Chains A and B, each alone.
Chain A
Amino acid sequence: MAVAASTSASERVIVAKAKWRPLESERNLAWLLLLPTMVLLGLFIAYPFMRGLLLSVTDTRVGVPGEFVGLDNFRRLASDPIFHAVVWNTCWYTFVTTIFKLALGLWLALLLNRSFKFKAFTRAFILLPFIIPTVLSTFAWKWMFDPTFSVLNWMLYQTGFIRSAINWLGDGDLAMLSIIIVNIWRGVPFFAISLLAGLQTISPDLNEAAAIDGARPLQRFWYITWPLLLPVTMVVMLFSVIQTFADFQIVYVMTGGGPANATHLFATYAYQLGVGTGLLSQGAAVSLAMFPILLLIVIVQLLYIRRVEVR
């Protein structure tokens, strides 16, 4: 039986060879499987990027096709004080929020990794800030920071912490603080859940063994958990930095970039110039200016991740 079956199978293979079966080639199959992704990336990433690049070297305005002007738009940015503020704002915003999101997210992940009642429910609940559409939750925050009707001010006033209203969104520094708070609030769940996933891959045996050897909790964290979690942490940070650097919604809803441009980020300034005022080429130049900075950050982080993984 077995012999007969195998002969018929080999016969079939021989017959099949005569037919045109391009997908049997691993190379072709690979291209085919890559195709949808490539089309999507091409349509939604590469094409807009190239369009942006082309726009930024012209003087296109809305409805008026522009002419090639070389690097004029970038030269203009170099001497634009608002743009300087934008670069500083974005870097500061990304730096501060990432530090806090990492610290709070890690803390939350360590807590969630323990056993307690309603664990599954709590884990799901923690994700809420991340699940709610950002624009909606930011509107709620906007009301909480409202200059006249701030519930935060009301609470602080009622509990005797302040005598007069804190001008949350009307003062440049406090407005920056406000958007930082909202970004951290929204971003912590992402860190917490991702790091929790990382924590669960660490075998409890290691911690137990260390405990038996007399390592204290802090030591166990520092010498076992942290090094094993580092690769995950770096990837999560990479994602977060890219997203935060290009953040738009929180600032657009909360401050519109104000007061007096104190909270403009790359994305909001590009939007105001390009879409608001119709200076498409200048808007494109602002958003492209984000690219080299982001690229540098990504390269440094990727190199670091590789080093950590090799180790």
Chain B
Amino acid sequence: MTGVSRRKFLKTTGAGAVAASSGGLAGILATGRAPAYAQQTTVHWLRWNDFVPACDQLLRQKLLPEAEKALGIKVRYETVNGNDLQPRITSGIQSGAGPDLIMLFNNHPHLYQASLADVSDVAGEIAKDQGGWYKLCSANSSSGGKFFSMPMAIIGAMNAYRKSWFAEVGYNEFPKTWDQYRDAGKKLKAKGYPIGQSFGQSFGDPPTFAYPLLWSFGGAEIDDKGKVVINSKATVDAVKWMAAAWVDAFDEGGLAWDDASNNRAFLAGTICSSLNGASIYIESSRKPEQYKQANGKPMKDDILHAPLPGGPAGQFGFHTYTSHVVPSYSKNVSATKDLLRFIHKKENYDQWFSTGLGFYTPGTTGWESHDLWKKDPVMAPFAVAGKLGLTPGHPGEPNAKAAEVLTKYLIGNMFAAHMRGQKAEDAVAACEAQLKKIYEG
């Protein structure tokens, strides 16, 4: 790694320690205790409250104790609401103290690039071992070949829907176009089961729905040269479609939903379909006794996954991407990187990935052929989430500016503004003004 051979290491540490009258590694081993510095190294890891709680448990109860043993460090594992990760890293960077390893969503790492340690070495090793990173990962986590965040996994966003209900209104297959989706939703809403979709100010579901909807109508916030092009007929059409469909086919409470609301509504049987990570299906599979259909059979047997419908310009996907950053204020950068290496080691990562049952799609190509994807056909569509997912700002770069647009919820709020009664053209123009301030200064 750094060109220090084992022999040289023993010699040096031995020589230093001999002077101190103890005896290098031999001395340390004789005392039967880890050296003092290692005892004190505590790596503070901050992640979200996992939508698959079993993954949190696996880390807490198995992988992290193993890591502590293998690396001779202490790991303090903390979880918070996903929406609180950004405030935490901001306060950490500003105060120069905080967690050593922080999970972030999508292209958020770009916002903090100046204050993040370079993790290219770890990212490089893992890519070499497990296949290259998907473009989605490298675009969100790196810039100019330098990785300032370590890709963890992609949370594939697919529509979880009730197969039998869609069949009842004539859709034996999931709708392929937005208009079909609206038609199906309208019929199901009349029966009391609208489509559920969050349009609140939250990190996950609202943007993963709003961005592809915009793209599929031919709209985009910027073009590939970075020029703001939001104010187009395509965008206005998308915004108008959404507001009309909202009344016809969607649960109108969605404007106040966060990322967990659709899970609760779906599992309670009040909505027919919702764009989601696989957490609804996974939860219903884990507790088939608790979540049932009206006929008493497990709800999981009536759930299928399908990608979002397409529009005039095609079909698009935006999947919530997760990665970890090591802020440069951390005093344990090297220990933290070792922890990352440990977690991403094939046999360890496999346990975590398998516990997630496909909720998390790994960021490297090597995992596409994993057995997990063959086990359950309902989960199979998630295998390609990393391959097909686009990044915020598409077709432009997912840089800090696109991250600012994302964290200010500007695209989702543009749709929501028209739903709340603002004229579609005005909502788009207002969004354009905001985007211009961000992109053009």
A222 within 8 A of B: no
Q: Restricting to B249-293, which residues have a CB under 8 Å from any CB of A?
A: 251-258, 261, 264-265, 268, 270
B385 within 8 A of A: no
> A80 contacts which chain B residues (CB < 8 A)?
434
CB pair B253–A148 under 8 Å, yes or no, is yes
Kindly specify which of A170-178, A188-196, A229-237 makes contact with the partner chain: A170-178
In this complex, the member of A80, A148, A274 whose beta carbon has the largest number of chain B beta carbons within 10 angstroms is A148
> A76 contacts which chain B residues (CB < 8 A)?
437
CB-based A-B contact count at 8 angstroms: 114
B49 within 8 A of A: no
A262 within 8 A of B: yes
Q: Restricting to A113-151, which residues have a CB under 8 Å from any CB of B?
A: 146-149
Q: How far is the CA of A279 from the CA of B400 in the complex (A)?
A: 11
Shortest B84–chain A CB gap in Å is 9
B63 within 8 A of A: no
CB pair B112–A278 under 8 Å, yes or no, is yes
Residues A260 and B417 in contact in the complex (CB < 8 Å), given A63-B93, A81-B433, A147-B261: yes
Q: Which single member of A167, A273, A276 contacts B256 (CB below 8 Å)?
A: A167
Kindly specify which of A20-28, A251-259, A289-297 makes contact with the partner chain: A251-259
Instruction: Report the interface size class on chain A.
Output: 35 or more
Q: Which single member of B200, B202, B420, B430 contacts A171 (CB below 8 Å)?
A: B420
* Contact pattern, A 257-275, Cβ under 8 Å of B = 1, otherwise 0: 1111110000000011111
Shortest B92–chain A CB gap in Å is 9
> A262 contacts which chain B residues (CB < 8 A)?
420
> A168 contacts which chain B residues (CB < 8 A)?
256
In this complex, the member of A167, A256, A275, A277 whose beta carbon has the largest number of chain B beta carbons within 10 angstroms is A277
Shortest B48–chain A CB gap in Å is 15
* Contact pattern, A 280-310, Cβ under 8 Å of B = 1, otherwise 0: 1000000000000000000000000000000
CB pair A277–B416 under 8 Å, yes or no, is no
Residues A63 and B252 in contact in the complex (CB < 8 Å), given A147-B261, A149-B264, A276-B86: no
Q: Which single member of B86, B201, B404 contacts A257 (CB below 8 Å)?
A: B201
Shortest B237–chain A CB gap in Å is 19
Residues A278 and B111 in contact in the complex (CB < 8 Å), given A147-B254, A259-B420: yes
Task: Please name the residue on chain B nearest to A153 by beta carbon.
Answer: B253
Q: Restricting to A204-261, which residues have a CB under 8 Å from any CB of B?
A: 255-261
B174 within 8 A of A: no
CB pair A259–B111 under 8 Å, yes or no, is no
A155 within 8 A of B: no
A64 within 8 A of B: yes
Task: Please name the residue on chain A nearest to B405 by beta carbon.
Answer: A277
CB pair A170–B91 under 8 Å, yes or no, is no
Residues A149 and B268 in contact in the complex (CB < 8 Å), given A170-B252, A258-B200, A259-B199: yes
Q: Which single member of B83, B86, B200 contacts A277 (CB below 8 Å)?
A: B86
A62 within 8 A of B: yes
CB pair A256–B94 under 8 Å, yes or no, is no
Shortest B438–chain A CB gap in Å is 10
CB pair B407–A277 under 8 Å, yes or no, is yes
> B420 contacts which chain A residues (CB < 8 A)?
171-172, 259-260, 262
B413 within 8 A of A: yes
> B434 contacts which chain A residues (CB < 8 A)?
80, 82
CB pair A63–B253 under 8 Å, yes or no, is no
Q: How far is the CA of A273 from the CA of B253 in the complex (A)?
A: 26
* Contact pattern, B 287-312, Cβ under 8 Å of A = 1, otherwise 0: 00000000000000000000000000
B176 within 8 A of A: no
> B190 contacts which chain A residues (CB < 8 A)?
none
CB pair B112–A258 under 8 Å, yes or no, is no
CB pair B407–A275 under 8 Å, yes or no, is no
A40 within 8 A of B: no
Task: Please name the residue on chain A nearest to B196 by beta carbon.
Answer: A148
Task: Please name the residue on chain B nearest to A274 by beta carbon.
Answer: B90
CB pair A167–B90 under 8 Å, yes or no, is no
Shortest B407–chain A CB gap in Å is 5
CB pair A276–B407 under 8 Å, yes or no, is yes
Task: Please name the residue on chain A nearest to B116 by beta carbon.
Answer: A63
In this complex, the member of B86, B201, B202, B264 whose beta carbon has the largest number of chain A beta carbons within 10 angstroms is B201
Shortest A173–chain B CB gap in Å is 9
CB pair A147–B114 under 8 Å, yes or no, is no
B87 within 8 A of A: yes
A38 within 8 A of B: no
Q: Which single member of B83, B261, B268, B437 contacts A256 (CB below 8 Å)?
A: B83
CB pair B111–A277 under 8 Å, yes or no, is yes
B115 within 8 A of A: yes
Q: How far is the CA of A172 from the CA of B199 in the complex (A)?
A: 13
B345 within 8 A of A: no
CB pair B200–A259 under 8 Å, yes or no, is yes
A41 within 8 A of B: no
B128 within 8 A of A: no
Q: Can you show 9 pairs from A to B with CB atoms below 8 A apart? A: A63-B93, A63-B94, A64-B114, A79-B433, A147-B256, A170-B256, A274-B90, A278-B112, A279-B404
List the interface of chain B (C-beta within 8 A of A): 83, 86-87, 89-91, 93-94, 111-112, 114-115, 199-202, 251-258, 261, 264-265, 268, 270, 404, 407-409, 413, 416-417, 419-420, 430, 433-434, 437
Beyond A147-B257, A255-B256, 18 additional pairs, beta carbon < 8 A: A62-B90, A81-B430, A81-B433, A146-B261, A147-B254, A167-B252, A167-B253, A169-B256, A171-B255, A256-B83, A256-B201, A258-B416, A259-B255, A259-B256, A260-B419, A275-B90, A278-B111, A278-B112
